[in-house]
Amino acid sequence: MKRRKVRSKRMQIMHLWTRSDAVKAVPYLRSIIASLRECYLEVMNAERQVKLANQKKSATRLQQILDQEKRDDDLERARTKFNDALDELTKVGVFLLEPVHGFALIPFRKGDDLAWYVFDLFATSGLVGWRNHSDPIDACRDMSSLDEAVAVA
């Protein structure tokens, strides 16, 4: 009789942040997201260099091969650095939204619903607003509206 391999699906539990924890984590998040932004730009640059090199011919075939290997290595190294930084961010339960602009989402509980703090790398406070999970991805409500909702409850 053949044995079937049973793949177990592991349930992942999302860490929900409190506002005070999110505020305390802003310097750490700034560091990681700034690193992610740099790594992402390096990946984009390396991909561009590969694309441009494929369009032009080098003097010799040997030089062309050596240059291609160097560009491929640079691209792989940049991708690895980006993925490592992204793993670090994901481990703390924060999700990268837009690397170039430095936007990330931090999950929290609003009543019985999932909501997200919006982190902006370039904003002075770091946390610029929040959105409900059901809101459009580009929605960002003012933090004061969250304070008012808490005060009413």
User: Over the stretch 50-77, which tens digit does the pLDDT of each residue have?
Assistant: 888 777 766 677 777 777 888 888 889 9
Q: Is residue 137 helix, strand or coil?
A: coil
pLDDT at 2: 55
Cβ-proximal residues to 23 (8 Å cutoff; 6+ apart), any chain: 126, 127
Using an 8 Å Cβ cutoff, are 105 and 119 in contact?
yes
- Token readout for 141 is 């409500």
Digit-by-digit pLDDT tens for the chain (153 residues) are: 455 665 666 777 788 999 999 999 999 999 999 999 999 999 999 888 888 877 776 667 777 777 788 888 888 999 999 999 999 999 999 999 999 999 999 999 998 899 999 999 999 999 999 999 999 988 899 988 876 554 444
Q: Please report, for the chain, the start and end positions of each structural domain, with discontinuous segments joined by +.
A: 19-152
pLDDT at 152: 41
